[in-house]
Structure 1
Amino acid sequence: MYTAQSQHASFALQLATLTLACLGAWAEETPRPSAAANAQPTPVAEEIKVTGKVANEGDIRRNQPASKIIVGRDELDKYGDSTVAEVLKRLPGVSVGGGPGRGGGIRMRGMSEGYTQILINGEAAARGFSFDSLSPDAIERIEVMRAPTAEHSARAIAGTINIVLREDYKAKQPSQLRMAVSEEDGRLQGRLDVQWGAQVDALNYNIGGGYNRNSRSNDSSGSRQGTDGRTGLGYDEVTASQSSGSGYHLNFSPRLTWRIEPGNTVSLQTFLMRNQSSSDSLSTITRLSGPAADYARAESHGESESTMLRGFGNWKRNLSEGAKLDVRFGFNSSRSDSENQRQEFLGDGSRKEIRLDDSEIQETGFSTGGKWSRPLGEDHSMAMGWDLEQSRREEHRVKLVNGLPEVADAGDLVVARVRKLAVFAQDEWNLGPQWSAYAGIRWEGIRTESEDALGTTSSNSSVWSPMLHAVYRLPGSSKNQLRASLTRSYKAPNTRDLITRPVLSDEENSRSDPDRAGNPNLKPELAWGLDLAYEHYFSQGGLVSASLFSRQIEGLIRRETQFETAGSGRWVSRPRNVGEATSYGIELEAKLRLAEIMGDAPPIDLRANYSRYWSRVDNIPGPDNRLDEQVPQLFNLGLDYRFKAMPLTVGASLNLVPAYTNRTDVDEWRDIDAKRQVDIYAQWRFSPAVQLRLAGNNLLHQDYETRSRQTGTGAVQSRSTTPTYTQWTMMLELKF
């Protein structure tokens, strides 16, 4: 541990030294403005740049047939975030699981992450993709779509987040270098991002890459009271866990575009991600009353690494009579290896058992898709297209307990194959100056096959998804409009949930810690969705909006835990289609310059959004019978202030998720603590080519607490508290 921390400190020190050296060199090369220059030209140039970019994003959003939020480079850069999840949490309707500042699954409209579709360049993200591994600097923009369109998959009951990687080189966006050093709980972290491109005749290339070295501690404490599964006697215990981990993330994304002739271009882009980490943990159980615990102390050490390579190709060709052909093709290849060794000790210090969990996962696949579009008049166009995807996943997992296989007859190898085919058609038209309409339909079919030592299983499903969107511009003003959408979307079962191979619980098998197994008979969840919205746009790119939505879900998938008497008799959790559910809510958003509503207002940019959600699962009695982990409310507030007398911009944001209770079964509840996160930043622009950014994330560093309780057979209640930490970041940005 000491050696690893020393390496991190040395790396961070070298990075900080390089930062200061570069800053000094650039300061010498760049003439320092006089006091008079600071007072006059600098603020004007800065304001013009920001205004143009925001207005452009507002125009794109206003003219979309379906509601779409655009997050451009300004928002991605503002707070110096090290992960995309930290950017997304400030957007209306988007929440992040886990404690404040600790990262987690991305969710829209409060629903669990499986209801949100994650795309990279319009294609489904590979299994295991993590936002924590992707630097915001590798992204051109983020598109958040609240309702599906036929062009993209309808696997988006809550919505879709499309990550668009850096696009073609543009002269107004010169090459750049970013260097950052961060500190969290006494641990130093470093980050380096590079974007470099050029235009050479008909050839345009843009090369980007980033390296992030991280080190983090994750401690927790808790308590648990329940019934011992071996003796049937009650117990009361306290638990504690101390863990630390370190590693690195590396990404590389070159892009090449060749303009063969006007209206005929070919683009090729690859995306490489490499992650490596190691961790150590110590957990203890102290029984205050009742029989002795299954173990008193456990020590674990884990090593993991993963590599993902994706390729994207795009051919665009203009045809006769205004028609266009857009053909996409791609491939993916990924591999991940992990090894975890866990030793459990009894109260007298003797070793009870040693567990080894070693897994190797390889996944390969290819995809192709395309769209043919043609105008049918000045204000009318139609399009048709297809998507085809095939992937193969091979998982080799060895779980040994004291040197013996955990499941004797299950084997070590699982092979899963997934084939997807979709066809779609869509029609867009403007019905006069007030009305715009969109109609689309998409058919998607999925076939999943899995094979292991226990046998072969297969699953087939298909879904028709009609989609209608309409925009009505109020007479007399182009700044006010109404939106309405009626769509059908779905959520397919995870491949892992279709595989019958069991995964045994690591600790004592109980109702609160059951084995996990799949169900090959699962069917997709289907949902009809209605979205309504009012939007008002300001002249300088600001907007205010209010939206309502409803989702009626059929075939809801939930895990149910039962005691299965077959074999040795164990508690097993299996997913099942359990019935129907309803989710609805309201989302309010404001994003504007204060001067747009107040004549003599200071140069302040304001961002605020509030969301309120309700849901009901029919087969679980109320109250609190919500969809799994659906947050009831979200609130974000952000302010940015630009000084007129100096090239300085400062800002702050507040992210708030109130506490809530989720009833997950007839006799199971989960209580989630409130999340409060405050972030700040300051940006000093030495020149158009040099700027320094200081940022503080999670200033409140609150402890995050969760509680769960079960009644009836195997009754248990538990509590877990996890501390969080403030992260300080200094980032130097150079353009050349």
Structure 2
Amino acid sequence: MTRLSLLACAAMAPLALATPALADDAADATPVSELIVTGEIAFRDRTETVAPALSYGLEYFQRFEPLTAGDAMKRVPSVAFLSDVLESDGARLRGLDPGYTQILINGERVPGAGLDRSFFVDRIPAELIERIEVVRSASANRSGDAVAGALNIVLRDSQTLDGGYLRAGAILLNDGRVRETLGGVWSGQAGPGRLLVGASIQGRRNPKEKTSWRYDEPGGALDNIEVQSDTRNGTDYTFNAAYEVQVGGGDLELSGLFVRTDRFADEDSWEYQDGNIRNRDLSVTNDNNVDITTDNWSLNGKFTREMFGGKTRLKAGYAVFNDQQDEIEEEYEYLRDSNPFPEDDRFTGDLTHSRLKDKELSLAIEHERELGFATVEFGVQFVDKNRDTDITTDRTRVTIPNPPAARPTLPGVYGPFLPVPGGVNKIEETRIDPYLMFSGGQDALKWEAGLRYETTSSKITDETAPAADRTVDKDYQFLLPSAHLRYNLSEDDRINASVARTVRRPGFGQISPAVLLAEMGDNDFVGNPDLKPETAWGLDLGYERRLGTRGVAGVNLFYRKVSDLIEVANTGVEGSEGEDTFLLTARNAGDGSVWGVELDLSTPLTMFGMEHTGVFLNYSWLDSDIDDPFGSRRFNDQSKYVFNVGFIQDLPTWGAAFGATYRKQGDAFGRIVGEEVTTSYGADLEVFVEKRFGQNFVLRLTGSNLLDAKKEETFNKFNTIEEQRSRDFDEYEVESEKAGPVFQLVGRYAF
């Protein structure tokens, strides 16, 4: 309750100093009933920003009832995922690793929990979203760590809604379980300002089945089959508030967000020898459970006032990510010898406690004013990050003797717990980023140009490293220019051109001094504190045409030239596993290129006399090239394409509507030392049917994963670098994962 109290206090604090709001403050707010009980089809919005961006409002996604921001992002151009079936966590804009994509909330960067600084978008419930923007190229007034681009999640605020709604429903899973979904939002006048509050409880469940076939090599003998049951079950709790008021001669905006994820992952597996799924060939059973509690919360404030001949903005934010995971993995080996279980067989148990707390303070001062020929904007942004990680584990290993004839009682108590290599560390990072940006134009031409100078000072202290190498200090400085041009060829046609330099800082694990044993196959890995960040020059060229009054069609070409790529290299030092294994590290290994074509269409079929039919289509063809120690390849795990198509048919006379979307993404290939993975996804089909009752209530039935989409992965595994070059396989594995359909019945009541 302490955090909820903080949010409430932050929202109400300015009341004592506030001046009455103008009567027309809410003039642009949309009545909730028009958004929630809608009888019109929503299409992709045409943005007026000079920097190339696509905007998709909540109504574009809402009828398919996405659970998270990730579920919504699946329908926008160029966004791919390599998550498990039915999950959308690390967004891969243009197919690149999540660390290349900048995730923004309300235009501001958010701290990510991953070692690569990435943020999992399934942490944000879809109920909080007003719109999602795909920002294809960087500008000087935003953080430059956006090589692939940025995805901006704009949350609802008090100025965009007027009224409230309640949402309640049930989700039916393929295993027969039913989970709940409850939520509500209200926005309106509160004292001298406007207030928005929202809360939700979202049941989450993802039952999957996996099967793995393991061979000596491709086309070789089948060694074993592993059958897995993997279920993730939990509940997400959210609370958000926003308050906007005129105070001190300016506009004050306060907002807070709290998300708790309470989840239990239960994975059980049975391994059978010689390709026979029968009891006498059962060789290994494994029970792997993870209890997860994750809290995200943030407080943000912005004060805008006319001063110093222009408009000045003061911003402050504080975000906390607190993740606790307790994982237990217990395994029985049944066929270690020729004697039947339990003679001379083995039990192994591992219990691991993982604690991660990430705190980030951000401050900014920005000023904007007119110069006559242009508008100038300048400012400085400050970020201070502190992350504490504590991962400890204990292993219990028992060899079952000859006899007993019955299953023995095994130890149920673990301990003492010792740190895993690299598992106890502290990360401190400070950024000070000034920028200067000009924008202007007249008639058909608009332009923007700017410079951003980013300075980063980081310090990693790893308690598991040798004392002499325990602390790593690293400083970076970058000059990041950007320029954008928009030219209207006519009232309906326009072109955009952009050039920008962006950066990707090394992941924390890539510069950590800890030695990770057998991290890549049988090879060890140690971070390289001398790594330079990757930088990229990017070009975007796009054409967009308005179709009628509501339709939009566009095509965009993009190219990225990435320098100082970070790749795995061999130090030549023998690894802990002995002969033919090595200590590996990360190094800057030359350049790489990324390019592609992005098409999107969103329009009613008015030209065919079907004004109540809307169609949506986007297709992104993606490619890249990079060299690693084994030759040329694409960027790791970049899908070859992403394709979405769908329609919505409104039936105004009946107060009803229905629609469907179909999604497919291409294969992805990734190669590191010791392992090569090819990932393929089946197609995904989603449908909805809705019925509106009056102006205030809508009942909607949705079905997702109706094609029982599969995820298939093939793994080429090698023990050493030389064996990987000579294709001397340690193991060749084919894994298939599938999940069944998911149905939702949801009612929304607007008031």
TM-score range, shorter chain: 0.7 to 0.9
The 5-angstrom pairing of residues 187-202 of structure 1 reads 187-202=177-192
Distance in 2 between residues matched to 1:307 and 1:280, nearest whole Å? 21
8 Å CA contact retained: 1:83, 1:135: yes
8 Å CA contact retained: 1:659, 1:675: no
**Which of 134, 137, 144 is the equivalent residue of 2:127?**
137
SS at match of 2:66: coil
**Which of 435, 442, 453 is the equivalent residue of 2:452?**
442
The 5-angstrom pairing of residues 3-14 of structure 1 reads none
SS at match of 2:232: strand
CA offsets 1:113-132 (integer angstroms, 9 cap, x no match): 11111112223222234322
Counterpart position of 2:259? 273
- Which amino acid is 1:450 matched to? I
Counterpart position of 2:142? 152
CA offsets 1:558-607 (integer angstroms, 9 cap, x no match): 34578852555466664332221111111111111110x33x23521111
- Which amino acid is 2:685 matched to? V
- Which amino acid is 2:288 matched to? S
Consecutive unaligned residues in structure 2, runs of 5 or more = 1-33, 114-118, 276-280, 335-340, 397-413, 718-723
Distance in 2 between residues matched to 1:728 and 1:637, nearest whole Å? 20
8 Å CA contact retained: 1:295, 1:344: no
Counterpart position of 2:358? 363
CA offsets 1:488-534 (integer angstroms, 9 cap, x no match): 011111223321224456xxx7x547555433222211111111011
**Which of 40, 47, 69 is the equivalent residue of 1:84?**
69
Would you say 1:554 and 2:563 are equivalent positions? yes
- Which amino acid is 1:703 matched to? K
Distance in 1 between residues matched to 2:36 and 2:700, nearest whole Å? 18
CA offsets 1:272-309 (integer angstroms, 9 cap, x no match): 111112232222333329xxx99722222221212222
Distance in 2 between residues matched to 1:281 and 1:97, nearest whole Å? 19
Residue 223 and residue 183 in structure 1: after superposition, are their counterparts in 2 closer, same or farther (change >3 A)?
Answer: same
SS at match of 1:579: coil
8 Å CA contact retained: 2:207, 2:739: no
- Which amino acid is 2:390 matched to? H
Counterpart position of 2:388? 394
Moved more, 554-563 or 240-249: 554-563
Counterpart position of 1:385? 379
Moved more, 525-534 or 343-352: 343-352
- Which amino acid is 1:180 matched to? G
SS at match of 1:296: strand
8 Å CA contact retained: 2:392, 2:418: no
Distance in 2 between residues matched to 1:279 and 1:461, nearest whole Å? 39
- State the percentage of identical aligned residues: 22
The 5-angstrom pairing of residues 313-352 of structure 1 reads 313-319=301-307, 321=309, 323-347=310-334, 348-349=341-342, 350-352=345-347
- Which amino acid is 2:376 matched to? M
CA offsets 1:138-173 (integer angstroms, 9 cap, x no match): 122222101011111111111101112221145x64
SS at match of 1:413: strand
Residue 269 and residue 199 in structure 1: after superposition, are their counterparts in 2 closer, same or farther (change >3 A)?
Answer: same
What is the aligned-residue RMSD (CA, Å)?
3.0
Structure 1 position 714, deviation (Å): 5.3
Structure 1 position 442, deviation (Å): 0.6
8 Å CA contact retained: 2:41, 2:612: no
- Which amino acid is 1:398 matched to? T
Counterpart position of 2:528? 519
- Which amino acid is 1:383 matched to? E
Structure 1 position 82, deviation (Å): 1.1
**Which of 494, 499, 512 is the equivalent residue of 1:499?**
512
Distance in 2 between residues matched to 1:162 and 1:687, nearest whole Å? 34
Would you say 1:592 and 2:607 are equivalent positions? no
Structure 1 position 410, deviation (Å): 5.3
Structure 1 position 50, deviation (Å): 7.0
CA offsets 1:160-211 (integer angstroms, 9 cap, x no match): 01112221145x6421111121111112111111111221352211111111
Distance in 1 between residues matched to 2:282 and 2:693, nearest whole Å? 61
Residue 571 and residue 282 in structure 1: after superposition, are their counterparts in 2 closer, same or farther (change >3 A)?
Answer: farther
Moved more, 688-697 or 512-521: 512-521
8 Å CA contact retained: 2:555, 2:597: yes
SS at match of 2:76: coil
Distance in 2 between residues matched to 1:628 and 1:246, nearest whole Å? 30
Would you say 1:466 and 2:481 are equivalent positions? yes
Distance in 2 between residues matched to 1:282 and 1:53, nearest whole Å? 44
**Which of 472, 475, 487 is the equivalent residue of 1:457?**
472
CA offsets 1:47-96 (integer angstroms, 9 cap, x no match): 997779758x32xx1x2111111121212312111122121111111112
Would you say 1:419 and 2:408 are equivalent positions? no
Distance in 1 between residues matched to 2:139 and 2:698, nearest whole Å? 40
Residue 567 and residue 654 in structure 1: after superposition, are their counterparts in 2 closer, same or farther (change >3 A)?
Answer: closer
Task: State the aligned residue count.
Answer: 667
SS at match of 1:368: strand
Counterpart position of 1:373? 368
- Which amino acid is 1:628 matched to? N
Residue 189 and residue 573 in structure 1: after superposition, are their counterparts in 2 closer, same or farther (change >3 A)?
Answer: farther
Residue 565 and residue 515 in structure 1: after superposition, are their counterparts in 2 closer, same or farther (change >3 A)?
Answer: closer
Would you say 1:635 and 2:643 are equivalent positions? yes
Would you say 1:720 and 2:707 are equivalent positions? no
Distance in 2 between residues matched to 1:336 and 1:408, nearest whole Å? 17
8 Å CA contact retained: 2:613, 2:649: yes
Residue 686 and residue 485 in structure 1: after superposition, are their counterparts in 2 closer, same or farther (change >3 A)?
Answer: same
Residue 74 and residue 235 in structure 1: after superposition, are their counterparts in 2 closer, same or farther (change >3 A)?
Answer: closer
Structure 1 position 385, deviation (Å): 1.1
**Which of 535, 538, 542 is the equivalent residue of 1:529?**
538
Counterpart position of 1:29? none
- Which amino acid is 1:580 matched to? D
- Which amino acid is 1:429 matched to? G
Structure 1 position 419, deviation (Å): 0.9
CA offsets 1:680-712 (integer angstroms, 9 cap, x no match): 112211022111111111110122211122543
Would you say 1:97 and 2:82 are equivalent positions? yes
- Which amino acid is 1:717 matched to? Y
Residue 693 and residue 503 in structure 1: after superposition, are their counterparts in 2 closer, same or farther (change >3 A)?
Answer: farther
Distance in 1 between residues matched to 2:568 and 2:743, nearest whole Å? 40
Counterpart position of 1:670? 677
Would you say 1:433 and 2:443 are equivalent positions? yes
Would you say 1:731 and 2:741 are equivalent positions? no
Distance in 1 between residues matched to 2:697 and 2:88, nearest whole Å? 30
Distance in 1 between residues matched to 2:440 and 2:332, nearest whole Å? 70
Counterpart position of 2:653? 645
Residue 81 and residue 48 in structure 1: after superposition, are their counterparts in 2 closer, same or farther (change >3 A)?
Answer: closer
Residue 690 and residue 416 in structure 1: after superposition, are their counterparts in 2 closer, same or farther (change >3 A)?
Answer: same
Would you say 1:301 and 2:289 are equivalent positions? yes
Structure 1 position 644, deviation (Å): 3.4
Structure 1 position 553, deviation (Å): 0.5
Structure-2-length-normalised TM-score: 0.83
Structure 1 position 214, deviation (Å): 2.0
Consecutive unaligned residues in structure 1, runs of 5 or more = 1-44, 228-232
Distance in 2 between residues matched to 1:108 and 1:271, nearest whole Å? 25
Counterpart position of 1:707? 714
Distance in 2 between residues matched to 1:405 and 1:234, nearest whole Å? 42
Counterpart position of 1:175? 164
Would you say 1:680 and 2:665 are equivalent positions? no
- Which amino acid is 1:646 matched to? W
8 Å CA contact retained: 1:102, 1:724: no
Structure 1 position 674, deviation (Å): 3.6
Distance in 2 between residues matched to 1:142 and 1:643, nearest whole Å? 27
- Which amino acid is 1:95 matched to? A
